[in-house]
């Protein structure tokens, strides 16, 4: 059907509720808006769905959620009766329509004879990952759009190992969704009927308690927390999200006595009314927290995003200024802390490994090598870290120690298989206590790492290109870089080009090609002649193209000067291709 035919179908079919039809009436005659809402179905990618809330096939609404849920349900049914009985776990964040979408999904699973475990209220993403494993469920879904603006919501799907679906399983779900050509043919029953038939079970406190118990096993130096707890203060903000109860609970239970919550951001708020964006990467999200920290003379500020899978921190530097640490800096601090303290306690296994994404700092490699620990690199997306845990730790003879992405996602422990803002908050606070016991701040700890391994700087530039036209510009830019084999960037020459879409590594000087051992992905990675690097990739969850940069030198000033020149050279080429 054309966009207009789909529009009329939604307007005229009795399956769609009056509220939906009233919303669509308001765009009658607005061809561009009709096209935008109906030119395609909201894409089910490897992570699930994510889109603007509203009526239409290219929007997040109860009908697109039902359709996705039918695809997931059908994929479970293909595994047999035992998979149906094991059921599926459902969680959600505080966004608009999140609870409604979660309930609608549960009704679809129940309508397909699959038991749904639904949390009694909002919960962090990592607890959903944990709950899938704890309840021995077949799959899990989380209704969340992470740190996206308030207009968005999403639908993330997890496998039985608690990790986001790998490509093969995601493709099976996609096939089942595409089989459903008529969106009105989804199987679902009422909530009352689902509960009567034992196909809907509300869960909560029991899972919370077990999750907290497992978190405590990751603590390395609880004695240091007790040593400094009388005088050590932390400011914490959940940024109106799901982290409030569990982050504060774990910090309390491992011994921190003075955790000050940002009251204005403590309670769930789907409008995220105190921030422009509920993203802990952005300093603006910490404005109120910084004022509280100044008032209370606090050294550490921790903030988690709405679904509490990512963490940002603010620390004081040598000039007593509150500064934001990057995801790479925090990741390296945590990696150094975990490895050094396990070694000091004789707990560092010889078969241990750590994992990072290819766009995360190369400094992490040096840290791992210093402790004789293998660093494994994966594509962007925490599901790839989860896959390595399953393959090497759960099914193999290796021991997972730590994993992180530059986008503020961290994981220790194997009981969850997605980035975990709760365990990260605990380890960051404990790490602060460790440095405090040494008479140091976290910032001084970062400088110590730079002195030990060399200075490193990373940054990212991203362009948001909305709508059908924007997607086209992103695709054409990636195609141009490949087809024209661009290797010179205004004075910066590439020595090696890794193309993860074709799975090849090109040595520019010799023109020799070799195979890459990572899955196919629309990513170009450039290793420059001077040791710098940059990477270009479209976002998998947002209408963005992202360019990552990494530079290492002997000191901060030289590194920053080099980064500025390098970034400008590369962006001058990328901007022309994007038509900016």
* 129/213 Cα distance (integer angstroms): 15
* 8/11 Cα distance (integer angstroms): 5
Count of CB atoms within 10 A of residue 217's CB?
9
User: CA-based angle 536:157:13, to the nearest 5?
Assistant: 105
* 227/436 Cα distance (integer angstroms): 10
* 312/411 Cα distance (integer angstroms): 14
Which residue, among 28, 30, 31, 33, has the nearest Cα to 52 in the 3D structure? Answer: 33
Q: Is-catalytic flag, 340?
A: no
518 phi/psi in degrees, rounded to 5: -110, 160
Do the domains 211-453 and 456-578 sit in the same CATH topology, yes or no? Answer: no
CATH T-level assignment (fold) for domain 211-453: Alpha-D-Glucose-1,6-Bisphosphate; Chain A, domain 3 (3.40.120)
Burial class of residue 487 (count of CB atoms within 10 Å of its CB; 0-12, 13-18, 19+): middle
Low-confidence ranges of the chain (pLDDT < 50): none
Tokens for 549, please give them: 């940069």
Tokens for 225, please give them: 């927390």
* 134/242 Cα distance (integer angstroms): 20
Active-site hit among 3, 146, 425, 521: 146
Three-class SS string for 18-61?
A: HHHHHHHHCCCCCHHHHHHHHCCCCCCECCEEEEEECCCCCCEC
* 167/479 Cα distance (integer angstroms): 23
Taken as a whole, the chain contains a residue count of: 580
Tokens for 165, please give them: 């679906």
Ranges of H-type helices in 125-166: 125-134
Q: What pLDDT score does 485 carry?
A: 74
Q: Was domain 456-578 assigned CATH 3.30.310.50?
A: yes
* 208/124 Cα distance (integer angstroms): 10
* 476/479 Cα distance (integer angstroms): 5
Q: What pLDDT score does 530 carry?
A: 87
Q: How far is CA 376 from CA 84, 381, 493, 518, in A?
A: 35, 14, 27, 11
* 110/73 Cα distance (integer angstroms): 9
Q: First-to-last CA distance in the chain?
A: 34
* 432/311 Cα distance (integer angstroms): 15
Q: What pLDDT score does 467 carry?
A: 78
* 575/465 Cα distance (integer angstroms): 13
* 293/236 Cα distance (integer angstroms): 10
Count of CB atoms within 10 A of residue 108's CB?
24
User: CA-based angle 358:304:429, to the nearest 5?
Assistant: 90
What 3-state class would DSSP assign to 12? Answer: helix
CB of 349 closer than 8 Å to CB of 339: no
Instruction: Spell out the domain ranges in the chain.
Output: 40-203, 211-453, 456-578
pTM over 0.85: yes
CATH T-level assignment (fold) for domain 40-203: Alpha-D-Glucose-1,6-Bisphosphate; Chain A, domain 3 (3.40.120)
Scored b (16 or more CB within 10 A) or e, 297-314 reads ebbbbbbbbbbbbbbbbb
* 435/529 Cα distance (integer angstroms): 38
The DSSP H or E segment spanning 404 is strand 399-405
Count of CB atoms within 10 A of residue 107's CB?
24
């Amino acid at each position: 059907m054309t966009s207009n035919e789909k529009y009329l179908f939604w307007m005229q079919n009795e399956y769609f509720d009056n509220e939906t039809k009233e919303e669509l009436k308001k765009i009658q005659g607005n061809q561009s808006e009709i096209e935008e809402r109906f030119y395609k179905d909201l894409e089910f990618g490897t992570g699930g769905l994510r889109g603007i809330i509203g009526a239409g096939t290219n929007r997040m609404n109860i009908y697109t959620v039902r359709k996705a849920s039918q695809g997931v349900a059908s994929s479970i049914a293909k595994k047999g009766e035992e998979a149906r009985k094991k059921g599926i776990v459902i969680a959600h964040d505080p966004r608009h329509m999140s609870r409604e979408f979660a309930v609608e999904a549960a009704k679809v699973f129940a309508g397909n004879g699959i038991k749904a475990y639904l949390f009694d209220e909002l919960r962090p993403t990592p607890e959903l990952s944990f709950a899938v494993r704890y309840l021995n469920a077949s799959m899990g879904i989380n209704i969340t759009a992470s740190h996206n603006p308030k207009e968005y919501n999403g639908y993330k799907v997890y496998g039985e190992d608690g990790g986001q679906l790998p490509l093969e399983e995601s493709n099976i779900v996609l096939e089942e969704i595409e089989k459903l050509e008529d969106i009105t043919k989804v199987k679902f029953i009422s909530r009352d009927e689902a509960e009567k038939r034992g196909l809907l079970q509300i869960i909560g406190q029991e899972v919370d308690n077990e999750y907290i118990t497992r978190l405590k096993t990751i603590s390395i130096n609880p004695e240091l927390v007790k040593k400094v707890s009388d005088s050590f203060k932390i400011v914490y903000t959940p940024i109106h999200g799901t982290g409030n109860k569990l982050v504060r609970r774990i910090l309390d239970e491992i011994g921190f006595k003075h955790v000050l919550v940002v009251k204005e951001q403590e309670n769930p708020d789907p409008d995220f009314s105190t921030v422009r964006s509920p993203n802990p990467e952005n300093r603006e999200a910490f404005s109120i927290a910084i004022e509280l920290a100044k008032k209370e003379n606090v050294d550490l500020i921790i903030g988690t995003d709405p679904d509490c899978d990512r963490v940002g921190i603010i620390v004081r530097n040598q000039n007593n200024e509150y500064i934001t640490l990057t995801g790479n800096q925090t990741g390296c601090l945590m990696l150094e802390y975990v490895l050094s303290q396990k070694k000091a306690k004789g707990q560092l296994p010889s078969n241990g490994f750590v994992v990072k994404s290819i766009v995360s700092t190369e400094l992490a490699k040096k840290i791992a090598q210093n402790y004789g620990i293998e660093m494994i690199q994966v594509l962007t997306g925490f599901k790839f870290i989860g896959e390595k845990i399953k393959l090497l730790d759960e099914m193999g003879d290796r021991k997972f120690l730590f994993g992180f992405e530059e986008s503020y996602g961290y994981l220790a422990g194997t009981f969850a298989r997605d980035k975990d803002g709760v365990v990260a908050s605990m380890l960051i606070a404990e790490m602060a206590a460790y440095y405090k016991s040494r008479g140091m701040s976290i910032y001084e700890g970062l400088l110590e790492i730079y002195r030990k391994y060399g200075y490193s700087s990373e940054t990212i530039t991203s362009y948001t290109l909305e709508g059908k036209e924007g997607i086209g510009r992103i695709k054409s830019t990636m195609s141009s870089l490949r087809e024209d084999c661009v290797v010179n960037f205004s004075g910066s020459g590439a020595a090696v080009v890794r193309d993860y879409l074709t799975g090849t590594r090109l040595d520019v000087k010799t023109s020799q090609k070799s195979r890459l051992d990572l899955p196919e992905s629309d990513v170009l990675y450039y290793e420059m002649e001077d040791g710098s690097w940059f990477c270009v990739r479209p976002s998998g969850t947002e209408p963005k193209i992202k360019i990552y940069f990494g530079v290492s030198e002997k000191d901060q000033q030289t590194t920053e000067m080099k980064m500025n020149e390098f970034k400008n050279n590369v962006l001058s080429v990328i901007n022309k291709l994007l038509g900016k």
